[in-house]
Structure 1
Amino acid sequence: MICPAWSKGSSGGTFSFSTTPRRSLRLQRELLEREERRRALAREWATRRFLPEPPRAPPSPPRRRRYCRDPAVHNALYAGDLPRVQSIFKDEATANLVLEMVSEELVWSPEQGLWVLSPRRQQTSALRIVTARGYEDCARHLLLRGAAVDAVVGGRAPLHDSAAAPHPNCARLLLAFGADPNVLSAEGSAPLHLCTAPQSLRCAELLLAHGARVNLGTRDRQVTALHVAARQGLVAHVELYLHHGADPSHRTHQGETPLNAAAAAAEHPKDAERYLRVAEQLLAAGADPGAAGRKGHTPLHNACANGHPGLARLLLCHGADATVPNGAGDTPMDCALRAVHEYRDQRPEETLVLLLDHGALPGHPKMLRLCCQHPPALEVMLNAYDRVPPAEGWAEDVPPELWEEHQEFYTSAVRMAGQPRRLQHLARWAIRSHLGSRCHSAVPKLALPPALRRYLQLHIEGVIS
């Protein structure tokens, strides 16, 4: 049971304060302190704005930082123990202490030729610790005691930590106390660049509402928030940034666009749908489907290398070139063939057909060894030639157990190697060669029976004839 506090009234008697009035009085006092700080800043700004600038005093020497290595202080902050924080941080000097922690890590010593323990110093601030953990009451106390809201200690400002965590309540508090939404970390990143999780959407909204520059790039690489969101497959973030004027054509120092970033990161089948939606949004906003980024990779190169037929289809429908080589001379078809084995459960034969329907060439027969362990992909590629290439380049790479499982297909492929194909296949090859990159649009319009149309579209039959 909490004992009430007693105070003398104006008549000389006493009266009790319950818990609720005491909390109300404390909040009112904090609001008054905050209002006084705001008015002081406003008066200072008005003086600088409208009055002649007074003579500048000689610059004062920088305030010497005070350090704290006391584990008890650290523990109070990490635990969010508000009473202890209030008892420790009572003024501006203590609120701006630099908290230093020393840990030991293994490093290689060339002189000794072995791994040795070496001390590693890490610095942070009290405000960084509590905002990174969402302790809003502790953060408010520190700010009211004069904690520097934008101080970059240990490489980051408090707003970086609250956005990365993410803790929207602390981000809102910091911004209300005047935090710069574009403050840069030691690595040159703004808080918006650290909104990398789906749960950080509210933080991103708060930052943009308080003036965060949506097209601000990181200091060294010029990566924007849209690049980050596209690389992480954050559909809602991408929509938010585009709504606030993000440039879908902005390039990093390596030439990457947000679409390049999304296509390169779409490596896992479970994330395929998210990255497809991100790409749809970027293309609708005007992104270039053929923009070559790092090492000359286009988004189509990346989509094919990641075994993502849905993304490849989307890019091709928006005009991506199926024949353009990258910096190493590889075409999207080369990338797709190299991905067959790793992504054989994701129907890589669909990507191969898509590329062939948009004008890609089957390439050198030696590339057949890359797809020989996935019969549907091998069938598509063999039917892209007017005659089956020699089997010596791929047959020895097929495991015996796989050969036994698909014996009819592999036997027919070896039997037809170097032999003339049926007239039906030669007619198919001639029609497809004539249509070239128009196969995807022209073949469905031909007045042919459905079975013959499927044959022209390289439908899988399970045998080479």
Structure 2
Amino acid sequence: MAQETFAFSSSALRSLRLQRELLEQEERRRALARESATRRLLPAATRPPLAPPRRPQYCRDPAVHNALYTGDLERVKSIFKDDATANMVLETVSEELVWSPEQGLWVLSPRKKQTSALRIAAARGYEDCARHLLLRGAEVDAVVGGRGPLHDAAAAPRPACARLLLDFGADPNLLSAEGTAPLHLCTAPDSLPCAELLLAHGARVNLGTRERQLTALHVAASRGLAAHVALYLRHGADPGRRSRQGETPLNAACAAAERPPEAPAYLQVAERLLDAGADPRAAGRKGHTPLHNACANGQHGLARLLLRHGADATVPNGAGDTPMDCALRAVPEYPQQRPERTIALLLQHGAGPVHPKVGGGGGGDGVVVGGCHAVSPPPRLARRRVLQMLRFCCGHPPALELVLNASERVPPADAWVGAVPPELWEVRGHHGGGGTHTHRGGLVPTAASCPCVSPPPGAPGLLRLGRAGGGAAAAPAAPGSLRPAPAPGRPLP
């Protein structure tokens, strides 16, 4: 086929033949090495008679594959009549072009995928075919191609086949080549019956994967499977169990809650974990707490739940960022999730719009926020952090309004106003003396519809962002002339 598809030269064809011969030699060498490694090094007098090793049979016949994949029971019975055929290794070979550094050209390399007849029947849900194979001597825990039949039945999921395999003695804690047990593969909402079967037959609920040490509770929490989480907790799952990277199931749930439609499911997962004793302050990878992850994903409901259970709104992570920093960075990423609600929630629980390390007075470049007074950094660093905060919020007027209202001092607008889109500016009219006039420099961001969120108690209002009735559109002003409109009695810096 390769000669008909590609115009290879004679030298290229010789290289391909050489490559194939080398691969066949390597396979024969490995087979001999495996055979020699299994021999006992005993004296000849005491060496028992060696039974002829039963080598697995390999099958590449498409007719056999078709009978299994279609669930044709009659053809399966006619093909698999004994234990030798029931334990055949089914192979599919495809040739792919791979780069050979030794030869300096692309060569065709065979790629083999192996499976077993019992794996195919279990994954497809053909219970009758699976029962016939088991009665003919198919090994119920044979790991072929990296997985056992029970792994495929749990991942599919196929509860009837999983029950059949367990009744024939399948090991519910068998690890695949990737180091996962069948319980780790129950990742779909309809896999709950399989998870119940596995636990009823002795699956270890706190068994971790080989590499990352993730438990089934970690997996279910990261997928937003509230029913699975409740099931595992009833069977003794540890809500504080940490993975190799230090992540708890609560960390995993808050980090995975990225899409708004799935927010209710992750909220239920977090509620069940917290009710079971999960620590809302437990820091995982890079020092992220569940609150950091929830704020970074713009999940207001999760943040409120965590704060209600005692999460710290001011603790920094490994990079020195607080949950407020994460919430501000989420403003341009998740504007549809109304990030101003999360910012207001953090402010009400003692956080400031800027990390305390940036707080403190000192001229017009600093910002005093939330009553947090710490050792002030150099003015340039403080100014840079504050301006970065304002640029995060400038595209979302409700968040910008809330941040400015919570600040006692606002840096000059000409330092950050350049990041504001032109369509967000309008001239605000100020009513006074029986008439309306335009206040010079009173340019503030606005939007067609921006529900304003009130600042925390005690924070005086500085700006009110929104479409003002009768406000006229303003032409872009010269740099340095744009400053927020002052509220009565509140001088600008």
TM-score (norm 2): 0.71
Following superposition, the deviation at residue 63 of structure 1 comes to 3.3
2:35 is aligned to none
Following superposition, the deviation at residue 116 of structure 1 comes to 5.7
Q: Is the 8 A contact 2:348 2:456 kept in 1?
A: no
2:200 is aligned to 209
2:312 is aligned to 321
Distance in 2, Cα, partners of 1:148 & 1:123: 16
Q: What pairs with 1:224-239 in structure 2 (closer than 5 Å)? A: 224-239=215-230
1:394 is aligned to 416
Distance in 2, Cα, partners of 1:412 & 1:305: 38
Q: What pairs with 1:338-353 in structure 2 (closer than 5 Å)? A: 338-353=329-344
Does 337-346 or 246-255 show the bigger shift? 337-346
Q: Is the 8 A contact 1:376 1:460 kept in 2?
A: no
Following superposition, the deviation at residue 392 of structure 1 comes to 2.8
Following superposition, the deviation at residue 345 of structure 1 comes to 1.1
Q: What pairs with 1:284-295 in structure 2 (closer than 5 Å)? A: 284-295=275-286
SS of the residue aligned with 2:112? Answer: strand
Q: What pairs with 1:18-57 in structure 2 (closer than 5 Å)? A: none
Following superposition, the deviation at residue 429 of structure 1 comes to 8.7
Distance 1:89 1:430, change over 3 A: closer
Unmatched runs of 5 consecutive residues or more in structure 1? 1-54, 418-427, 433-454
Unmatched runs of 5 consecutive residues or more in structure 2? 1-45, 355-384, 430-437, 445-454, 467-484, 488-493
Q: Is the 8 A contact 1:413 1:464 kept in 2?
A: no
Distance in 2, Cα, partners of 1:211 & 1:249: 22
Amino acid in the other structure paired with 2:158:
H
Q: Is the 8 A contact 1:151 1:158 kept in 2?
A: yes
Distance in 2, Cα, partners of 1:210 & 1:201: 14
Kindly report the root-mean-square deviation, in angstroms, between the aligned alpha carbons of the 2 structures.
2.7
Structure number with the higher helix fraction is 1
1:376 paired with 2:367, answer: no
1:278 is aligned to 269
2:153 pairs with one of 154, 162, 178: 162
Q: Is the 8 A contact 2:331 2:396 kept in 1?
A: yes
2:239 pairs with one of 248, 252, 264: 248
SS of the residue aligned with 2:163? Answer: helix
Sequence identity (%): 75
SS of the residue aligned with 1:102? Answer: strand
Distance 1:464 1:429, change over 3 A: farther
2:72 is aligned to 81
Following superposition, the deviation at residue 391 of structure 1 comes to 1.4
SS of the residue aligned with 1:355? Answer: helix
1:30 is aligned to none
Query: Alpha-carbon deviations, 1:231-261, whole Å to 9, x = none?
Result: 0000110110001110000000000000010
Distance in 1, Cα, partners of 2:97 & 2:486: 59
Distance 1:260 1:394, change over 3 A: same
Following superposition, the deviation at residue 393 of structure 1 comes to 3.4
Amino acid in the other structure paired with 1:270:
P
Following superposition, the deviation at residue 316 of structure 1 comes to 0.8
1:365 paired with 2:386, answer: yes
Does 373-382 or 60-69 show the bigger shift? 60-69
Q: Is the 8 A contact 1:388 1:416 kept in 2?
A: no
Amino acid in the other structure paired with 1:100:
E
Q: Is the 8 A contact 1:369 1:393 kept in 2?
A: no
Distance 1:87 1:318, change over 3 A: same
Amino acid in the other structure paired with 1:394:
W
2:56 pairs with one of 58, 65, 76: 65
Does 317-326 or 59-68 show the bigger shift? 59-68
Query: Alpha-carbon deviations, 1:91-120, whole Å to 9, x = none?
Result: 001000011111234544556777665321
Following superposition, the deviation at residue 61 of structure 1 comes to 7.2
Q: Is the 8 A contact 2:166 2:201 kept in 1?
A: yes
Following superposition, the deviation at residue 359 of structure 1 comes to 1.2
SS of the residue aligned with 1:315? Answer: helix
SS of the residue aligned with 1:216? Answer: coil
Distance in 1, Cα, partners of 2:486 & 2:277: 43
Distance in 2, Cα, partners of 1:242 & 1:157: 26
Q: Is the 8 A contact 2:425 2:443 kept in 1?
A: no
Q: How many residues align?
A: 375
2:128 is aligned to 137
Distance in 1, Cα, partners of 2:415 & 2:103: 51
Distance 1:94 1:283, change over 3 A: same
